[in-house]
Structures are given as C-alpha cells and as structure tokens.
Amino acid sequence: MQDGPSQTVREEQNTRYYRLISEFDSITGVWVLLNMSFNDHGEPIVTTPTDPIKDFYREAGRVPRGLTPRQSTGWVLMCS
C-alpha cells in the first residue's frame, strides 16, 4: 500500500469540485474522493473507456479478442 499527499478543498477555492465532493457525500455517506492515475505498472495512463477493461482482463490473464479503444466522451468508470 502506498500513501500520498492529501488535499483539502474549500468551497471558495474550487466551487465545482467542492460541490462534487459534497454530492458524492450525500449519495454515499463518504466525504473523501480518491484521485489517482489508473494504469498498471509500466503501462501508460488510461485514456479511453476500453483501457480499464483491457487492464482488468490482462491482470486476469486473458485479453478479449477484438477489444479495441473507441473514441468517446462522457464516460465515468466507478468501482466498488
């Protein structure tokens, strides 16, 4: 496990991000967001919606045939 610097956000500093955290808290009861790059060691940072899927299958030892990145916008990957 690694640790990193924490960052606090005040509403007057960044209203949109503060509201995002507040809304996340009201939905989940968790007032902390983790912001990190999503990539396997030695791999480039995820840039498409299919990159995390490929990483998942690669970790499991199998990459689905024909899985190729597609241009897209508005995707959010949520893991629990």
pLDDT of residue 71: 45
CB 73 within 8 A of CB 64: no
User: In 10 A of CB 16, how many CB atoms?
Assistant: 8
pLDDT of residue 15: 93
User: In 10 A of CB 2, how many CB atoms?
Assistant: 4
pLDDT of residue 11: 94
What the block records as the tokens of 57 is 């299958």
- What is the rounded distance in angstroms from the CA atom of residue 80 to the CA atom of residue 57? 17
- What is the rounded distance in angstroms from the CA atom of residue 58 to the CA atom of residue 63? 5
pLDDT of residue 31: 82
DSSP letter for 6, please.
Answer: -
- Mind listing the pLDDT tens digit of every residue in the chain (80 residues)? 556 667 788 999 999 989 988 998 999 898 887 766 666 667 777 777 777 777 777 766 665 555 444 444 444 445 44
